[in-house]
Amino acid sequence: MNRSGSPVSVRDVDIRFDDFVAVRQANLDIAGGEFVCLLGPSGCGKSTLLNAIAGFVKPVGGEVTCAGARVTGPDVSRGVVFQSAEALFPWLTVRQNVDFGPRMRGVGKAQRASAVDRYLAMVGLSHSADRFPGQLSGGMRQRAQLARVLANEPSVVLMDEPFGALDAQTRLVMQVELDRIWRETGATIVFVTHDIGEAILLGDRIVTMTAGPSAAIKNVYPCDLPRPRDLTDPASAALFRQLREDIGTEVARTLRAQGLDDGHDGPDARQAAGRPADEDRRTRR
Ligand SMILES: Nc1ncnc2c1ncn2[C@@H]1O[C@H](COP(=O)(O)OP(=O)(O)OP(=O)(O)O)[C@@H](O)[C@H]1O
């Protein structure tokens, strides 16, 4: 496997929005080519931490480094894939969207054309290259977004719930495709999700976060199960339960803070952490 991704280091990072402390004392070392999933309850600070790695948000304390250099702002070497495919330019075709970054960077026409073809093929969109984003399905738009980021040949790809808006089947297909693309590119990937199964299918390590405010990194779970992974495999199922307990505690804290829970780690919290409602009903009988 090609391992050309850059290492990323988050050191004692504090992030504030005015008086609001979003993230406190976050520390995380990510190896080059590693796939790390950030998992936590809604609103805990996953996107904020990812945005600090991207350079969109400036920590008030600590630092983020990428390949040993301090991150001071966004850079094409750290590509970002967002949940919403509105990040694509709707007036450009898929090919033109993917070509945009290399063209802005002054890459020559022939080199660009071959890179665009390569990345369109990698994400399975060669046949839709001349369509506009509005003519694509949600899954195809996310593929186009990924190809657009990959065309800049980033050493780090930051993904913020990229499959969150997709239906369950498309999501499964995209997870399998991303696993393959990650191996082909060798990029470091930091992937934000609130979906425990998705984190298990994709991550080399799964990092959980505490509920905010003042969210912190809670636990780091190595996940070296053979790929492609199967969530029904006993080892995956055991990790799922462990992560559900971990996240469930934080979801319960969030619900309590919002006055939506009766003070225990009840069904709302477990359901929000990934347990199907009928499983809860069965357990309670
Ligand atoms: N630009 C901002 N200004 C003020 N507060 C912000 C800003 N961005 C995020 N926050 C706050 O920081 C906290 C963390 O938000 P963040 O979006 O990082 O959470 P998250 O874990 O990614 O949530 P979700 O899973 O729902 O997307 C939230 O309380 C949010 O309201």
pLDDT tens digit sequence for 94-117: 999 999 999 999 999 999 999 999
Nearest to 144 by CA among 156, 155, 130: 130
In angstroms, rounded to a whole number, what is the distance separating the alpha carbons of residues 72 and 83?
A: 24
Give the pTM: 0.89
Residues with CB under 6 A from ligand 1: 17, 20, 22, 40, 42-48, 194, 212
Q: What is the 3-state secondary structure (H, E, C) of 10-76?
A: EEEEEEEECCEEEEEEEEEEECCCCEEEEECCCCCCHHHHHHHHHCCCCCCEEEEEECCEECCCCCC
Contact 137, 85 (CB under 8 A): no
**Do you find a cis peptide bond into 41, omega within 30 degrees of 0?**
no
Mean pLDDT of the chain: 89
In angstroms, rounded to a whole number, what is the distance separating the alpha carbons of residues 221 and 147?
A: 29
Domains for the chain: give ranges and CATH numbers: 8-77+154-284 (3.40.50.300)
What local confidence, expressed as pLDDT, does residue 272 receive? 52
With a cut of 60, say whether residue 224 has pLDDT above it.
yes
**Phi/psi at 237 (nearest 5 deg)?**
-65, -40
Write the DSSP string, 144-183: HHHHHHHTT--SEEEEESTTTTS-HHHHHHHHHHHHHHHH
Q: What angle do CA 20, 23, 26 make, to 5 degrees?
A: 155
207: helix, coil or strand? strand
Contact 15, 59 (CB under 8 A): yes
- Alpha carbon nearest to ligand 1 atom 30, residue: 43
Q: What is the 3-state secondary structure (H, E, C) of 222-249?
A: ECCCCCCCCCCCHHHHHHHHHHHHHHHH
ipTM comes to 0.96
What local confidence, expressed as pLDDT, does residue 219 receive? 97
pLDDT tens digit sequence for 77-88: 999 999 886 789
pLDDT tens digit sequence for 108-142: 999 999 999 999 999 999 999 999 999 999 889 99
- Alpha carbon nearest to ligand 1 atom 1, residue: 17
Pocket test for ligand 1, best of 46, 83, 196, 209 (most atoms within 8 A of CB): 46
Q: Tokens 């808006």 map to which residue?
A: 165
Instruction: Identify the DSSP state of 7.
Output: P
Query: Which atom of ligand 1 lies closest to the CA of 40?
Result: 21
20 C-alpha vs ligand 1 centroid, how far in Å?
10
What local confidence, expressed as pLDDT, does residue 277 receive? 36
With a cut of 70, say whether residue 200 has pLDDT above it.
yes
pLDDT tens digit sequence for 37-55: 999 888 889 999 999 999 9
N-to-C CA span, the chain: 49
pLDDT tens digit sequence for 229-239: 999 999 999 99
Contact 174, 81 (CB under 8 A): no
Query: Which atom of ligand 1 lies closest to the CA of 209?
Result: 21
Taking residue 102's Cβ as centre, other Cβ atoms within 10 Å add up to 22
